[in-house]
Structures are given as C-alpha cells and as structure tokens.
Amino acid sequence: MRWRDKSPTWLIALATIVVTAAALAHVWVRLQMLAVGYDISRETKWRHDLGEQNQRLTLELRTRMDLSVVERVARDELKMGPPDPRMIRVVKR
C-alpha cells in the first residue's frame, strides 16, 4: 500500500496541526505586543512624572539659593536679625 492509496485523513490532520500551530503562534505574538505596549505606556508615564518632579525640584533649588528669599525667611519666619557688633568676637588660629 502506497501513501496515495491511504485515505486523506492524515493530510487533513497534518493541515489542522499546522493551522493550529500558526494560530497559536499568532495569538502568542499578539499577547507579547500587548505586554510590550503596556510596558512602554508605564515607562512613558514614569518618565513624564520624573520630568515634572525634576522641574519642581529645580524650581525649589533656585528659590532656596536666592539670597533675598533666604534673608526674608530668616527675618520673618525665624525671627533672625543682624548680629550686635559688640557681640562679635574674632577667634585667631
């Protein structure tokens, strides 16, 4: 008996297996694409949040380094003033 004489059932089974494998591969690739898309979205949001935080911290640093702001905070909030010249002592090395 040759393969031509056999029924075409094995050919149908082989075709079904190939189509099923291709469909499973396609679904797996689509799921991987979705996962990567979610990862990219999360990383993009994180980058945006870090950029905003960097801007806030840069502004705060500039504000704290401004001598007029430091003087105003020392005078108004900390109730500090210039030292009494009679209380200043020079210490020699």
For the chain, give every domain's residue range: 9-81
| Amino acid in the structure at residue 44 | T
Find all residues with CB under 8 Å of 69, minimum gap 6, and list them.
Answer: 63
Per the listing, tokens 């898309």 go with 37
Mean pLDDT of the residues in the chain: 91
Q: What is the pLDDT of residue 58?
A: 96
Q: How many of the other CB atoms lie within 10 Å of CB of 68?
A: 7
Q: What is the pLDDT of residue 39?
A: 98
The number of residues in the chain equals 93
Q: Quick one: angle between helices 67-76 and 9-65, nearest 10?
A: 70
Q: What is the pLDDT of residue 84?
A: 87
Q: What is the pLDDT of residue 61?
A: 92
CB-CB contact of 63 with 69 (8 Å): yes
The mean per-residue pLDDT over the stretch 56-70 comes to: 90
The mean per-residue pLDDT over the stretch 28-51 comes to: 98
The mean per-residue pLDDT over the stretch 46-75 comes to: 92
Instruction: Say what percent of the chain tops pLDDT 70.
Output: 94
